[in-house]
Amino acid sequence: MMQAEPGQPMKMAWPTVFLDQWVWIRFAAVATGRSRDPDDARAYDEVRQASAEGVVFALSATRYEETGRIRDPRQRQDIADVVAPISELRSLRVHNDLVEHQIKIALHEILGRPTFRPSPLQVIGVGAHWSFTGVNAFHRVFDARDKVVDTIDGSWLRQVAQYTEYRLFAGPVDSELPALEKRGYVDPRQLEASATSRLEQERALATQFGSRSDPSATVLRFLQVRELWGTHGKMLARIAQEYGVPGRAIMPDPNARTPFARDAAEFMERIPTTHLMAQLKHGIYRQRREWTWNMLRDIESMSVAIPYTDVVVMDKDAVDLATRVGAPTRFNTTVIARMGELIDVLPDLRKDVNADAEEPPGWERLGPRAPFQLDLPRSLEPEEVPIGAQLRLVGDDGEIIHSPRTPGL
């Protein structure tokens, strides 16, 4: 059995910042002239400059969720207008993919299985598909025989993809809702109200813990097991079978006093995202606070953003929670709650940008580097495309995800 110090290389090649929703809302207020706060205005200017110089401002699935639940289309549009050019809609990879990679590294470090350390994972990608499925999905032009038309200008394809993702992030306007609902669209707030939602699960667990005098270390261990095995049990079973890992080596038995039991406990603590999520939730249970969607999404965001990015800006409550469990120190991440603090850390991040480094993964697959495009692309001329050509959404593996007929082709 291998004994190794934990050494997951979490940070990326580009200085990376994660901004909470309140920051983007205040930037939108500055951009639309509704805010005169000098710190907000300065931070907005400094962040735009840092983005232009190569600092990555990453989103995540929770950013799409929180923006999508805003009822006012105008407010969503205002937020999208600042989010898109600053972040270029680059996002952290879907939670499940990150956890799977962390699991494989932990198994390698503790048990030597897999034999070789897993290769670094691509953490940054672009768009909603990347945020929710871990797939970079881009539009390609196909001819009537379902063959990719490879003569289409890459700059045009890049603009099409960016405009589409920008409009997707902004969400539908009211006049579009009836047609979308016929195709299965559901208001995000309706999903939140479900009795089986993630929030209701936490509230139910809080009721069970309510009779305890103190949510102790036993409760923390329970939360670790739930976040890892309850959420990712099928994935764990598949990985264990693939690498010949005995179940007792990674499934803790609280009554056991064996080396395997100790390895299982250490294994759970070496999965940064699920371990941090359990710690943060444990902090809420200890305080006996009422669970809210904002609180839950803050925890979900931090469990991914703190391990992988360099700077995380959250609200004060979330920062205090992360600090109490030692997350900033453990992951060498700056976790802050004020615009002035963001302004202070940006100069060092800008110095860390490697001017010779390649563009972060995503848009470069389509066309040359250029400022993010918010404008509707031009219609292609008849001589540029064959008769019957269509735009189709294609994943990294070449599989067609969706094939709408698009005006202008």
> What's the gap between Cα 211 and its chain centre?
35
Residue 114, preceding bond cis, omega within 30 degrees?
A: yes
Residue in this structure with the two tokens 């929030």, named with its chain if needed = 199
Residue in this structure with the two tokens 């990608």, named with its chain if needed = 125
pLDDT 10s digits, 322-360: 999 999 999 999 999 999 999 999 999 999 998 777 778
What confidence tier does 34 reach under pLDDT thresholds 50, 70, 90?
A: very high
Q: In what order do the strands lie in the sheet with 16-19?
A: 56-58, 16-19, 311-313, 334-336
What confidence tier does 70 reach under pLDDT thresholds 50, 70, 90?
A: very high
How much is the pLDDT for 178?
92
pTM, to two decimals: 0.91
d(C-alpha 120, C-alpha 117), whole Å: 9
pLDDT 10s digits, 182-218: 988 888 888 888 767 889 999 988 888 875 655 577 8
Residue in this structure with the two tokens 């359990």, named with its chain if needed = 278
How much is the pLDDT for 363?
87
- Mean pLDDT across 40-54: 96
Secondary structure letter of residue 211 according to DSSP:
T
Burial class (CB in 10 A: 0-12, 13-18, 19+), 376: exposed
Q: Show the tokens assigned to 111.
A: 């048990």
How much is the pLDDT for 266?
81
More confident residue, 74 or 9: 74
d(C-alpha 91, C-alpha 34), whole Å: 27
How much is the pLDDT for 189?
85
Neighbours of 358 (CB within 10 A): 10
C-alpha distances in Å from residue 206, one per residue of 250, 290, 291, 306: 26, 8, 8, 25
Please tell me the least confidently modeled range out of 6-20, 163-177, 281-295, 309-323: 6-20
